[in-house]
């Protein structure tokens, strides 16, 4: 019988969290220092408050020096020199899990720069480099996808979106049935819940980690549509579909309009949090809804400290805290 990987839920224990320090001026025109400060603050929160070792990728000795100057003193952060494109390691690295033998395994997809929209040198090599470094068994899934497009409760239930997984810019002609078959050949898959589409202005074509996240088996956090919100129709359909699939829906407030300095709308979401060993790091936007979101997330994760960190600067690049982190689970 073919071995399949078990992907754990994010609240299960982590041996480490991997991040990558941004360095490409062209990816952050006029705002690279702000993006770097965001990654530094997130690294410290995970390492120190979250009690989780952080491995921070740096492109060169010069970039490491810059990262160290922002991070400051932390004995729980290690700097690792590597080739990579930018900071979106949720999507360029594999998703780690447990093999049947209790060793580290990795779910590996094909990668084409988010449907060919954001191709960066070295991104395609991150997955193999990291699995080789960790001596993780690779479980190849023959579809084009990014890690932020898949969410699991650790017990075989997965969430994804049609707009991303079946997008012609990634997998032309692929059906739901074919996608499920390919995924089920690589991982222990009980069922896959499909949502139709993501937020407006989301560069990823609808990554699930901006829309709905498991807080416990059978319990999903998603956003309650605010009256007149630009994504109200999408958010209503997401909650409706989750409930129709027998999942308990826990609602977070919809952020009021969040824009870049030039007025461009940004796909703000409170769902893009990272669950560290002893903390949940939540993106906040300096708006009234922040307080409510932090309270609701704290209720969903008792026993973990909930930390709100400013996320507008990272969001300019298309994502927030879950998008720039990749958990390495401890052995089962």
Alpha-carbon distance 271 to 281, whole Å? 10
Asked about 323 being catalytic, the answer comes back as yes
Q: How many helices (H) and strands (E) does the chain have?
A: 10, 16
Residue-wise pLDDT tens digits, 159-187: 999 999 999 999 999 999 999 999 999 99
Count of CB atoms situated within 10 Å of the CB of 176? 13
Distance of CA 230 to the CA centre of its chain: 23
**What DSSP character marks residue 12?**
S
Which pLDDT tens digit goes with each residue over 42-90?
999 999 999 999 999 999 999 999 999 999 989 899 999 999 999 999 9
Q: What tokens were used for 156?
A: 């075989």
Confidence band, pLDDT 50/70/90 cuts, at residue 266: confident
Domains of the chain (ranges; CATH) run 14-329 (3.75.10.10)
State how far the Cα of 144 lies from the Cα of 188, in Å rounded to an integer: 19
Q: Angle of helix 61-71 relative to helix 32-44, nearest 10 degrees?
A: 60
| pLDDT band of 203, cuts 50, 70, 90 | confident
Residue 321 reports pLDDT greater than 90: yes
3-class DSSP state of 215: strand
pLDDT of residue 199: 73
Give CA–CA dist 231/309, Å, rounded: 23
Cα–Cα distance, 249 to 243 (Å, whole number): 7
Residues 109-150 pLDDT 10s:
999 999 989 899 999 999 999 999 999 999 999 999 999 999
Q: Could you tell me if 306 and 272 are in contact, meaning their C-beta atoms sit under 8 angstroms apart?
A: no
Does the pLDDT at position 152 exceed 80?
A: yes
Out of 17, 87, 141, 323, the active site residue is 323
């Amino acid at each position: 019988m073919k071995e399949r990987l078990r992907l754990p839920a994010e609240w299960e224990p982590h041996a480490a969290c991997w991040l990558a320090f941004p360095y490409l001026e062209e990816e952050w025109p006029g705002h690279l220092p702000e993006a770097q400060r965001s990654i530094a603050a997130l690294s410290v929160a995970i390492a120190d408050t979250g009690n989780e070792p952080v491995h921070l990728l740096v492109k060169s000795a010069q970039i490491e020096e810059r990262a160290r100057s922002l991070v400051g003193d932390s004995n729980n952060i290690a700097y690792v020199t590597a080739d990579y494109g930018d900071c979106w390691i949720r999507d360029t690295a594999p998703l780690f899990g447990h093999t049947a033998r209790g060793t580290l395994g990795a779910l590996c997809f094909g990668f084409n720069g988010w449907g060919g929209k954001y191709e960066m040198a070295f991104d395609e090599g991150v997955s193999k480099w990291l699995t080789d470094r960790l001596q993780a068994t690779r479980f190849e899934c023959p579809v084009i996808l990014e890690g932020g497009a898949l969410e699991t409760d650790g017990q075989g239930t997965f969430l994804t979106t049609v707009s991303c997984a079946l997008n012609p810019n990634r997998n032309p002609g692929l059906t739901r049935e074919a996608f499920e078959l390919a995924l089920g050949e690589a991982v222990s898959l009980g069922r896959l819940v499909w949502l139709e589409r993501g937020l407006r202005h989301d560069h990823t074509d609808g990554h699930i980690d901006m829309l709905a996240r498991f807080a416990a088996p059978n319990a999903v956090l998603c956003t309650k549509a605010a009256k007149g919100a630009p994504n109200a129709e999408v958010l209503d359909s997401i909650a409706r579909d989750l409930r129709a699939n027998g999942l308990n829906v826990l609602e977070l407030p919809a952020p009021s309009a969040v824009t870049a300095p030039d007025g461009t709308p940004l796909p703000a979401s409170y769902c893009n949090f990272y669950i560290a060993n002893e903390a949940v790091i939540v993106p906040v936007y300096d708006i009234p809804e922040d307080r409510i979101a932090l309270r609701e997330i704290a209720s969903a994760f008792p026993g973990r400290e909930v930390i709100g960190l400013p996320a507008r600067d990272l969001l300019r690049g298309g994502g927030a805290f879950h998008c720039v982190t990749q958990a390495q689970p401890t052995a089962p």
